[in-house]
Amino acid sequence: MIVRQVLRLLQKEYGVPQWRPRQDPVSTLMATVLSQNTSDANSERAFRSLVSVFADWETVAGADVDDIAESIRLGGLADVKARRIKLILRRIREERGDLDLDFLADLPMSEAKSWLRRLPGVGPKTASCMLLFSLGRPALPVDTHVFRVAKRLGLVDARVNPDRAHELLERLVAPEDVYSFHLLMIEHGRRVCKAQRPRCDLCVLKGLCPRNDVRGRQKENGS
């Protein structure tokens, strides 16, 4: 299968990512919310600032939205994300009685995703990030790099939207390969398969890529 070939070539090029659990589920969820529509560097700074200002997530849940926004100002969209964080924490506490999301580890995957996606501002990528990076579940987040590379390789149709791509790619990738596939596709998208001016001449996947076939035919035809 092409996914296996893609993964093997990427692992040979970049190495095999080693599993590293990140934070507890709520912390991972909050960090992922802060990463929405901003760079990794800015979102990480905002998260560090947030956890340095407030003692714990219960304190954040009880804090004024303006105070939350001020603590994450470095990350951009602070007012929007502060309201989202407050709403998410309140919803979790209303439904669960506390801010513990460990129960999601025991739910069927579809139910865990559905529960998370009912939270304000939590889409398929945010839900998958939390499940993968905090609980080690084989949910495949599709960020802009994964989406772009997957489309160029023909793993998903060019007309598919990112939400649908989550479902389609997760079916294609074996559960034990999800973590590696996600991180390596991001790495390849950043280094080689860039949005503008992809470095196709350096691409280890060019033998599998339909774009390479098209370019080869164009050269043969003198166009």
Q: What is the pLDDT of residues 121-153, one digit of tens each?
A: 999 999 999 999 999 999 999 999 999 999 999
Model confidence at 177: pLDDT above 80: yes
Tell me, yes or no, whether 196 and 179 share the same domain: yes
Check which CATH number belongs to the domain holding 107 and give it. 1.10.340.30
Separation CA 12–CA 203 (nearest Å): 12
Of the candidates 88, 114, 135, which is a domain's last residue? 135
> What is the domain extent for residue 149?
2-18+141-202
Q: Are residues 29 and 122 in the same domain?
A: yes
112 and 193 belong to one structural domain: no
Q: What per-residue string of b and e applies to 4-30 under the rule 16 or more CB within 10 Å gives b?
A: eebbebbeebeeeeeeeeeebbbbbbb
Q: What is the mean pLDDT of residues 86-100?
A: 96
Single pTM value for the model = 0.90
Q: Identify whether residues 125 and 187 lie together within a single domain.
A: no
For 168-198, b/e burial (b = at least 16 CB within 10 A) is ebbebbeeebbbbbbbbbbbbbeebbeeeeb
In a domain, 213, yes or no: no
Over the stretch 154-164, which tens digit does the pLDDT of each residue have? 999 989 999 99
pLDDT at residue 217 in the model = 44
- Please give the average per-residue pLDDT across 55-60, as a whole number: 96
Q: Which of 81, 125, 194, 219 is catalytic?
A: 125
Q: Is 207 exposed, middle or buried (0-12, 13-18, 19+ CB in 10 A)?
A: exposed
45 shares its domain with 76: yes
CA-closest candidate to residue 40, choices 183, 157, 212, 222 = 183
Q: How far apart, in whole angstroms, are the C-alpha atoms of residue 54 and residue 62?
A: 10
219 is catalytic: no
Query: Are 86 and 128 part of one and the same domain?
Result: yes
Measure the CA–CA gap between 74 and 97, rounded to whole angstroms. 31
Among residues of the chain, what percentage have pLDDT more than 70?
95
In a domain, 81, yes or no: yes
> Rounded to whole angstroms, what are the CA distances from 50 to 21, 55, 85?
20, 9, 11
pLDDT digits (tens, 9 = 90+) for 182-191: 999 999 999 9
User: CB 43: neighbour CB atoms within 10 A?
Assistant: 22
What is the DSSP secondary-structure string of 12-36? Answer: HHH-PPPP---S-HHHHHHHHHHHT
pLDDT (tens digit per residue) in 30-49 = 999 999 998 889 999 999 99
The CA distance from 22 to 90, in Å, is: 23
Kindly state whether residues 118 and 151 are assigned to the same domain. Answer: no
Same domain (yes/no): 70, 165? no
Check whether residue 150 and residue 114 sit in a common domain: no
Whether residue 216 is contained in a domain is answered as: no
44 and 118 share a domain? Answer: yes
Reported as a pLDDT band with limits 50, 70 and 90, residue 223 is very low
The whole-angstrom distance between residue 25's C-alpha and the CA centroid of its chain comes to: 14
Q: What is the pLDDT of residues 3-16, one digit of tens each?
A: 999 999 999 999 99
CATH of the domain at 165: 1.10.1670.10
Residues 7 and 81 placed together within one structural domain of the fold: no
Q: Are residues 62 and 148 in the same domain?
A: no
Task: Answer yes or no: is 48 within a domain.
Answer: yes
CA 216/CA 169 separation, integer angstroms: 27
- Count Cβ atoms within 10 A of the Cβ of residue 51 and give its class: 0-12 exposed, 13-18 middle, 19 or more buried: middle
Total domain count for the chain?
Answer: 2
